[in-house]
Structure 1
Amino acid sequence: MKKTSIKKIVICTFLIFIMLSIVSCFGVKSQIKHHIGEKTELVNPTIFKTYSGPIAIKGASVLSTDCTKMLDSLTILIKDNKITEIGKDLNITDEYKIIDATGQYLIPGLTDTHAHLQGSKNDLLLYLANGVTHISEMFGREDHLKWRKEAENGALSPKIYVASRKVGSQKGIMRKIRSWFGSQHNYTTTRSARNAVSKYKKQGYDAIKISSFLDADIYKVLIDEAKKQKTPTIGHLPYDVGLKKLYNSGQSQLAHIEEITKSTMLDFGGLSSRNANEYLAYLKKNADDIAIKLKQNNIVVSSTVWIIESIPKQNFDIENFLKNIKLEYQNPGQIEGSKFAKGWLPGNNSYENMDIKNDPELTKKHQLYWKAYVEAIYIMGQALVRNDVSIIAGTDSNTAGVVAGFSLHDELESLKKIGMTNSQILHAATVTPAQWMQSNGGKINVGYRADLVLLEKNPLEEIKNTRTINAVIANGKLIDRTELNKMLLSIKNANNRSRKVSIDKFIN
């Protein structure tokens, strides 16, 4: 064969390879966009009527700044997105829109400290419709930074705190390739780790998110550099670090109570159906000491209790589980998943255990395991409450089963199971997260940002009453119940028009 012919074959082969690679890349990107919800129809937020002029809320019972009591029959004046006056006999001029809140209950806007916005801005409206006026995005992207800026400039949105993408130190070409498509970013040298902190700080992220898969030496360098850059380090407890190294590390927040229990399971030698009672006894013996050390080192813990409670339900009874969540409001791309990521539906659910089908003995072992796993969260959570550790309400929204906005109310009810009073729960969803994120919100007080929720029923009597929302004020913008209903309906309709798989069997 002539050299020119061989050359042509080589060139053609190379070009075909390049074209196939490009097509594959686009295919992967398309699948990723689907499962993070970017292909779902967007709702136009400008179709909803809001009022942003001066507002007077008259006659409401108002939650005290320490969340311990309702103060009767107060008037709240709001102007220029802030609370300007609070009292009983205030002079209300004609410029104010008056809301008669007699017999209703006013609380600060709620905060979800563990959110995953993924790729759809529809979730921002879901949060507002549920009275959530501040969220902490825990796997940030440049899009989320843009959404934060838009919110700051007056867009209809909760306030957004944006942590970086998870930072790990795993090696290998596949880890590198996965990072290109939205997985965690890995840094395997101290120099690259320091540079990463500077990069995230320059890009505008509010915090550095720590991965479970992070070498102890890289972890130490990341936190050291973050301190120099005055940037908090938050997230997981790396397996290579453990609780003993955490306490004095400088990491300021743990993203789940589960991070603590997982570390104790490793210290114990692992949890199984055979040693569940022994492990729980071990945890009870050590939980208070752990909590005291967390308190001494000012480490805040985001709760995410409900998602742990949901895992066994998804594991063993996915069909009924899906009938008991607000599935119709969840982004269909995330429900359906993709070729590269599981979704929420039976047969393709992240938590469903397919291995135990038709095996009663194996099912029993897994049930014992998960019962102990959930019980461990309660035991550790109760120790955190007893020892006054700062707990902030978080949901891990958009993880399988966790619907944005609605899930925070689920979480507040789950916090009862770790021994929190209704007052403590409200504090954990308002005051404490605002203080941790250094936000001028979380309280109904003069000079504070006007993020408020008007309720029909008293949440200090029943925490589930946080669901009885009559109106939301987000950064001074009033959204009444009619418009909140329109938001929910618009999102449901957009989801239905975007579906590839019917969910009718799960909707009551």
Structure 2
Amino acid sequence: MKCLAAALASSLLALAAPALAAPQQGDVVIRHVNLVDVEAAKTQADQAVVLRGADIVAVGADAAIARDWRAAKVVEGKDLYLIPGLWDMHVHFGGGPELIEENKALLPLYVANGITTIRDCSGDLPDQVLGWRSEIASGSLFGPRLLTSGAKIEGIAPVWKGTIEVGSEADVDAALTRLQQHDKVDFVKITDSTLKPDLFLYALRQAKARGIRTSGHIPMALTTRQAVDAGISSIEHLDYAYHAGARDEAAVAADFAAGRIDRAEASRRLDAAFDPATAMAAYRHFAEKGVFVTPTLNGSRILAFLDRDDHSKDEGLAYIGPKLRKTYDWRIERAAKASPEAVAARHAHIDAMARILPMLQQAGVTIIAGTDAGFLNSFNYPAFALHDEIALFVEKGLTPAQALASATRAGPAWFGQLDRYGAIRPGMAADLVLLQRNPLEDIAATKAIDTVVMRGKTYDRAALDAMLADTRAQVAAWNAEDGASE
């Protein structure tokens, strides 16, 4: 009897086993791929990644995934390299209401270049960008995930449009309340056109107390350390970090605040007083305080060499509408008016400034890839510029792995989202880029895109090319209209 019962139980288990071992179902599986672990700077061969909805649900050896999973769509990744989606952490939209559509046309370019998240650092269309953020999140507008500061905080009657003007601590408090509670911004941008230095520091301290991340430009009348100690979260543009390396930064700030020197003389003195030991001490302090730096180095390089470089045949021009291109004139005209001495100085400044990149890395500062691309910033082409930025990082002393991390992990780290972005493992967002070459060996491989995955949806090379073609066609149509109206 016992033998009969045992045999029956064994038969039932045998019948149940296939059901228990039935493969799990995903939406997409990427097979036979070389997985790039950006954090560890290494690759794993013959891996497979399963996506369900907007999530990664399984990662492992291809044979094991093939045994345990099925998916409606299979992407063949043999001889390809899979990285997390790229982030451009400093972009701009603007130029006035009449340029809304030309700005909006830039959004697909980011996806076509493997950029699945962008951080808008404020322009003069803040309400429009806030609307785009919601539309992209809901799926009614196509584009990369959009994080924005909304309107930036500035002083009274600033140079820049699209700002919240503040002239008192009460104004700062009201601005932060509006941005945090009404606009629900992702961070706050604070700039230094006319903002009083004491209010700049007050805004940083109050934002930190409210748990809001801040980025900004540091007033010349303050030292970089003052901004760091007040709680700035990211320093935008390498110039400000470079200033922190000047032996007499405090004396320069005091002289500028007192009106004894102008901005040009202050910059000259800061450049002349740069000291590597002073800089390293400052950068270690950045790291201790958790301050990140967004160099926007290639954008600065483009502007510095406007006198020398011919951009008339740039391929990127085909993607920029005529009204946006017109905003380039301001900087082009300013550069053309510079004296030979000023031109030589700005050329030298770029090379001098770039040498701090490996110093920041060595000090433990997180370097963020951001382009400063958008209106006004001549020939710094949205989306395409990110690849140029990280290539320049490598040229100036970072490793390809460090440069890749700046464009895949630094952004999520700054926003406190490394639990969701910046790696390829179960539970992470299905924002991925499939490359034809290994970016850990050659950072230019980030341009060699085979497929982009955004929010779990795949866009192969043909789909990406169609995005580019659609934008070119739209710009060509605008060009024709613009020419006809002249």
Mark yes or no: TM-score above 0.5.
yes
Partner Cα separation in structure 1 for residue 31 and residue 239 of structure 2: 43
SS of 2:75 mapped into structure 1: strand
CA contact (8 A) 1:431 1:442 kept: yes
Q: What's the counterpart of residue 14 of structure 2?
A: none
Q: What's the counterpart of residue 452 of structure 2?
A: 472
SS of 1:164 mapped into structure 2: coil
Cα 1:401–1:156 shift into 2, 3 Å: same
* Structure 2 residue 76 is matched with structure 1 residue 64: no
Shift of 1:96: 2.7
Mind listing any 5+ residue stretches in structure 2 that lack a counterpart?
A: 1-25, 95-99, 253-261
Compare 297-306 and 154-163 and name the one that shifted more.
154-163
Aligned residues: 426
Where in structure 1 do 4 or more consecutive aligned residues deviate above 4 Å? 262-266, 268-273, 275-278
Partner Cα separation in structure 2 for residue 152 and residue 262 of structure 1: 39
Cα 1:85–1:94 shift into 2, 3 Å: closer
* Structure 2 residue 63 is matched with structure 1 residue 85: no
CA contact (8 A) 1:111 1:430 kept: yes
Q: What's the counterpart of residue 171 of structure 2?
A: 192
Mind listing any 5+ residue stretches in structure 1 that lack a counterpart?
A: 1-52, 338-342, 357-361, 503-508
- 2:410 is matched by which residue type in structure 1? T
Partner Cα separation in structure 2 for residue 199 and residue 277 of structure 1: 39
CA contact (8 A) 1:385 1:419 kept: no
* Pairing of 1:326-475 with structure 2 (within 5 A): 326-337=316-327, 343-344=328-329, 349-350=331-332, 353-355=335-337, 362-363=339-340, 365-398=341-374, 399-439=377-417, 440-475=420-455
CA contact (8 A) 2:245 2:279 kept: no
SS of 2:150 mapped into structure 1: strand
CA contact (8 A) 1:116 1:396 kept: yes
CA deviations over 1:343-379 (Å, ceiling 9, x no partner):
25xxx544653335xxxxx42x233201221023212
Partner Cα separation in structure 2 for residue 126 and residue 276 of structure 1: 38
* Structure 2 residue 144 is matched with structure 1 residue 158: yes
* Structure 2 residue 201 is matched with structure 1 residue 258: no
Partner Cα separation in structure 1 for residue 270 and residue 385 of structure 2: 33
Partner Cα separation in structure 2 for residue 284 and residue 446 of structure 1: 43
SS of 2:301 mapped into structure 1: helix
Compare 208-217 and 472-481 and name the one that shifted more.
208-217
Q: What's the counterpart of residue 287 of structure 1?
A: 279
* Structure 2 residue 467 is matched with structure 1 residue 487: yes
Residue of 107, 122, 141 corresponding to 1:139: 122
Partner Cα separation in structure 1 for residue 344 and residue 277 of structure 2: 21
CA deviations over 1:311-360 (Å, ceiling 9, x no partner):
2221x135x134345111123211023xxxxx25xxx544653335xxxx
SS of 2:473 mapped into structure 1: helix
Compare 243-252 and 107-116 and name the one that shifted more.
243-252
Q: What's the counterpart of residue 115 of structure 1?
A: 91
- 2:83 is matched by which residue type in structure 1? I
- 2:170 is matched by which residue type in structure 1? R
In the superposition, the TM-score normalised over structure 1's length comes to: 0.78
SS of 2:146 mapped into structure 1: strand
CA contact (8 A) 1:291 1:389 kept: yes
Shift of 1:93: 4.8
Partner Cα separation in structure 1 for residue 335 and residue 478 of structure 2: 28
C-alpha RMSD over aligned residues: 2.5
Q: What's the counterpart of residue 219 of structure 1?
A: 200
In the superposition, the TM-score normalised over structure 2's length comes to: 0.82
- 1:103 is matched by which residue type in structure 2? D
Cα 1:297–1:491 shift into 2, 3 Å: same
Shift of 1:263: 6.1
Shift of 1:432: 1.8
CA contact (8 A) 1:194 1:221 kept: no
Partner Cα separation in structure 2 for residue 250 and residue 111 of structure 1: 24
- 1:355 is matched by which residue type in structure 2? K
Shift of 1:417: 3.3
Partner Cα separation in structure 2 for residue 79 and residue 245 of structure 1: 47
Shift of 1:117: 2.8
Shift of 1:149: 1.4
* Pairing of 1:119-130 with structure 2 (within 5 A): 119=100, 120-130=103-113
What fraction of aligned residue pairs are identical, expressed as a percent?
24
* Pairing of 1:8-47 with structure 2 (within 5 A): none
CA contact (8 A) 1:451 1:473 kept: yes
* Structure 2 residue 313 is matched with structure 1 residue 323: yes
Q: Which has the higher contact order (CA 8 A, sep 6+)?
A: 1
- 1:127 is matched by which residue type in structure 2? Y
Partner Cα separation in structure 1 for residue 364 and residue 449 of structure 2: 30
Cα 1:501–1:382 shift into 2, 3 Å: farther
- 2:77 is matched by which residue type in structure 1? A
Q: What's the counterpart of residue 306 of structure 1?
A: 298
- 2:276 is matched by which residue type in structure 1? K
Shift of 1:260: 2.3
SS of 1:390 mapped into structure 2: coil
SS of 2:440 mapped into structure 1: coil
Shift of 1:419: 1.5
SS of 1:466 mapped into structure 2: helix
